[in-house]
Amino acid sequence: AAGVIQSPRHLIKEKRETATLKCYPIPRHDTVYWYQQGPGQDPQFLISFYEKMQSDKGSIPDRFSAQQFSDYHSELNMSSLELGDSALYFCASSTRNTEAFFGQGTRLTVV
């Protein structure tokens, strides 16, 4: 069965650089979520989209932005990267009555 695909799996960037993370949800899932997870932390909600419209917003820095495209894939754009942005970034997708499925994550390291 198709799962949530995230790319890249690993990313190393320098401070003040820009990064783009991509997420391909499970087909026919109408909701996409983005989460950030630091070492030893629980997942922190960043932003979500329902039917390609932003539906909820969490603790997402102003330096970050996200969008969902017509083919339902989503991208998280991160600018002016800081050391503290180093974390695992997860994307998840779901429909209203199904489980949320998470991708394997993108490990971002800012040096």
- Told to check if 100 binds other proteins by CB under 8 A, we report yes
Q: Which of 23, 26, 48, 85 binds other proteins (CB under 8 A)?
A: 48
- Is 9 among the residues that bind other proteins (CB under 8 A)? no
DSSP percent split of the chain into helix, strand, coil, nearest 5: 5, 50, 45
| Among 17, 6, 1, CA closest to 90 | 6
Dihedral angle at the C-alpha atoms of 63, 44, 96, 30, nearest 10 degrees?
Answer: 30
Please tell me whether residue 14 binds other proteins under the rule CB under 8 A. Answer: no
Min separation Cβ 38 and other proteins, Å: 12
Asked if 77 contacts 69 with a C-beta cutoff of 8 angstroms, the reply is no
How far apart are CB 16 and other proteins at their closest, in Å?
27
Q: What is the maximal distance between C-alpha atoms in the chain? A: 41
Binding test (CB under 8 A) with other proteins, winner from 13, 22, 50, 61:
50
Pick from 67, 98, 109, 111: which binds other proteins (CB under 8 A)? 98
> Which region among 12-20, 21-29, 74-82, 99-107 touches other proteins (by CB under 8 A)?
99-107
